[in-house]
Amino acid sequence: MEQTTCYTYFSIRGDFDPAEITRILGIEPERTWRKGETTPYGGTYNNTSWTGCFCREYDIDLSVQMEKTIQPLLSKYEELNLIRTKYNAYLFLEVVPEIVYGSDKPILGPSMAVMQFCCATQTELDIDWYLFPPSNGFSTEDDL
């Protein structure tokens, strides 16, 4: 990895039938799993997950990516709140920056549109930072 990148996506977690979430939202997920299924690492999932609306088009202003991720969901407030209450589900807007020391650092500041969406649907903003040394393996405090 030479440069900083980021991807974002939307996830629903709980105990439900992923096909029912797809039907309610009218959006195909990119991946799902069910509570109790075996993980790729040999354990079992402790919840069901429906994941979709990925944005892999990196923008140094991460709010741009967040807005692209929620765009298909902006007309689905009622459906998302139904899913949340009916299935006791948790909604997440996931932001996953992969930062390379010495490259440009992303700007993480959700826009008002993202904050309003999260508040209206009780969606949690989850940020998973991954930090990588430069390809030469060296870094200095100035690189941070």
| CB 58, CB 6: distance < 8 Å | yes
Q: What is the pLDDT of residues 29-69, one digit of tens each?
A: 999 999 999 999 999 999 999 999 999 999 999 999 999 99
The reported pTM is 0.88
Range of the domain at 77: 5-143
pLDDT tens digits for 65-102? Answer: 999 999 999 999 999 999 999 999 999 999 999 999 88
- Asked if 5 contacts 38 with a C-beta cutoff of 8 angstroms, the reply is no
Of 59, 35, 58, 37, nearest in space to 47 by CA: 35
Count: domains in the chain: 1
